[in-house]
Amino acid sequence: MGETRGFKVYRGVVLVVLGLFVLIPLYVMVTSSLKPLKDVQGAFTWWPSNLTIAPFVDMWKTVPLARYFVNSTVVSVAATVLSVALAILAAFAVSRFKFRGRTVFTTTVLSTQMFPGVLFLLPLFLIFVNINNSFGLQLVGTRLGLIITYLTFSLPFSIWMLAGYFDSIPRELDEAALVDGCGPMGALWRVVLPAARPGVIAVAIYSFMTAWGEVLFASVMTTEANRTLSVGLRQYSTQTNIYWNQIMAAALVVSVPVVIGFLLAQRHFVAGVTAGAVK
């Protein structure tokens, strides 16, 4: 598109309007996390008059944030590792083998991504309660229950995206590995996976983000023992006080790792998303 004057004006307007829309909440989040409590309880000020890092210190004491952090980390890391492992195996099967039921599998798995979560929430809660009653395996209120739930949330998209990546790796490479005496699994491990590394990284970050940010199931499946950050941050609102400065500080701290991870892997996301859209 030509760089006419009209276009430059258009670009300027779009960048300013949408830039402010994006930036103002981020600015409010950062500055409010640096204000003392009485300043966030009074009228809003654009420029913080008393800068303090106290909220970043106090937020660990007001609620058991460290425990929520550990819970979220354990749950998200475990769900990510399992989800990526399962997705690699399934995507390899879809990409490299012709077998009966292949289309049924891919359409079924992908369509589960479309269903609203509330549809599974009630039955899954009930199934977990009954598994506990029948087998003594506690899934509601434990990290294990969250892990097996979350690993399936990112699975459909991960399989779909990885299968696309694997398709782009020439089959001649697998065949060379097979000639060299590797089995199909050897070919996957030594040839396909190394070549698909960017895809695996992107899928891992996507799975982690999904688990880290999940709210609906966490609000039902967690008790104080396994509470994750997505629900735990609500605890800053007590009967007497809402610690907005600490909420903002905690929101900032829990966001930084995922935002950095996502921004580093954004190119592969874009590639994966369009690959699916164009197909």
Partner 1 sequence: MSVATSEARPAAEAKPAKKKRGPEHRPGLNRWLPYLLLAPAVLAELLIHIVPMFVGIWMSFVKLTKFYIANWSAAPSAGLNNYKVALDFNNAVGEGLLKSFGVTVAFSLITVGLSWVFGMAAAVALQPQFRGRSLVRTLFLVPYALPAYAGILTWNFMLQRDTGVVNHVLVDNLHLTSDRPFWLIGGNALVSLITVATWKLWTFAFLTLMAGLQSIPRDVYEAAAVDGAGNLRQWRNITLPSLRPVNLVLVLVLFLWTFSDFNTPYVLFGTAQPPAGDLITFHIYNASFLTWNFGTGAAMSVLLLIFLMIVTGAYLLITGRRSRRG
Residues in 47-76 that interact with partner 1 by CB under 8 A:
none
Residues in 178-197 at the binding interface with partner 1, rule: CB under 8 A: 178, 184, 187, 195-197
Q: Write each residue from 99 to 138 as x if it is in contact with partner 1 (CB under 8 A), else as -, in one continuous string.
A: x--x--x--xx--x-xxxxxxxxxxx-xx-xx--x-----
CA–CA separation, 33 and 35 (whole Å): 6
Helix/strand/coil (H, E, C) string of 65-109?
HHHHHHHHHHHHHHHHHHHHHHHHHHHHHHHHCCCCCHHHHHHHH
6 lies in the site for partner 1, by CB under 8 A: yes
Looking at the Cβ atoms of 129 and 225, the one nearer to partner 1 is: 129
**Other CB atoms within 10 Å distance of the CB of residue 229:** 22
Residue from 34, 75, 146, 151 binding partner 1 (CB under 8 A): 151
Shortest separation between residue 251's beta carbon and partner 1, angstroms: 4
CA–CA separation, 232 and 68 (whole Å): 6
Task: Please choose, from the candidates 146, 160, 253, 153, the residue with its C-alpha nearest in 3D space to the C-alpha of residue 207.
Answer: 153
168 lies in the site for partner 1, by CB under 8 A: yes
Residue from 34, 78, 84, 87 binding partner 1 (CB under 8 A): 87
Residues in 228-257 at the binding interface with partner 1, rule: CB under 8 A: 229-230, 233-234, 244, 247-248, 251-252, 254-255
Shortest separation between residue 25's beta carbon and partner 1, angstroms: 5
Q: Work out the burial of residue 132: count CB atoms within 10 Å of its CB; fewer than 13 is exposed, 13-18 middle, 19 or more buried.
A: middle
Shortest separation between residue 53's beta carbon and partner 1, angstroms: 19
CA–CA separation, 161 and 273 (whole Å): 8
